[in-house]
Amino acid sequence: MDLQSIKNRFGIIGNSPALNHALNTASQVASTDLSVLIAGESGVGKEAFANIIHALSSRKHNPFIAVNCGAIPEGTIDSELFGHEKGSFTGAVDSRKGYFETVNGGTIFLDEIGEMPLGTQARLLRVLESGEFIRVGSSKVQKTDVRVIAATNKDLLEYTTQGKFREDLYYRLSTVPIRVPALRDRPDDIPLLFRKFSTDFAERYKTQSVQLDASAQQLLVSYPWPGNVRELKNIAEQISVLSTDKSISAETLHKFLPQKDTNRSLALMPPAGSPVASGKDFSSNTERDILYKLFFDLKKDMNDLKAMFFELAHHQGHFPAQPGNETMLPAYNAASTEPVPVVAAAPYNPNTHVLLQPNDHVDHHEDVEESLMLADREKEFIMKALKKHRGRRRDAANELGISERTLYRKIKEYDIKE
**Can you tell me the distance from the alpha carbon of 364 to that of 360, in angstroms, rounded to the nearest whole number?**
12
- The SS3 assignment for 270 reads coil
**pLDDT tens sequence across 65-102:** 999 999 999 889 999 999 999 988 888 889 999 999 99
Q: How confident is the model over 35-62, as a mean pLDDT?
A: 96
Rounded to the nearest integer, the mean pLDDT of the chain is 80
**Can you tell me the distance from the alpha carbon of 217 to that of 182, in angstroms, rounded to the nearest whole number?**
18
Query: Residues 144, 101: contact at Cβ < 8 Å?
Result: yes
Query: Residues 302, 370: contact at Cβ < 8 Å?
Result: yes
**Can you tell me the distance from the alpha carbon of 84 to that of 99, in angstroms, rounded to the nearest whole number?**
11
117: closest CA among 417, 415, 413? 413
Q: Domains plus CATH for the chain?
A: 3-181 (3.40.50.300), 184-256 (1.10.8.60), 260-372 (no CATH)
Q: How far is CA 220 from CA 52, 180, 189, 194, 392, in A?
A: 28, 20, 11, 9, 27
Residues 6 or more apart whose CB falls under 8 angstroms from that of 14 comprise 186, 188, 189, 192, 193
133 beta partners: 142
**Can you tell me the distance from the alpha carbon of 184 to that of 223, in angstroms, rounded to the nearest whole number?**
8
Q: Where are the beta strands (DSSP E) in 165-249?
A: 176-179, 211-212, 247-248
- At 317 the pLDDT is 55
β-bridge pairing 211-212 and 141-143: unpaired
**pLDDT tens sequence across 2-22:** 899 999 999 999 999 999 999
**Can you tell me the distance from the alpha carbon of 180 to that of 189, in angstroms, rounded to the nearest whole number?**
14
Query: Residues 114, 150: contact at Cβ < 8 Å?
Result: no
- At 288 the pLDDT is 54
Single pTM value for the model: 0.62
Q: How confident is the model at residue 380 (pLDDT cuts 50, 70, 90)?
A: confident
β-bridge pairing 176-179 and 211-212: unpaired
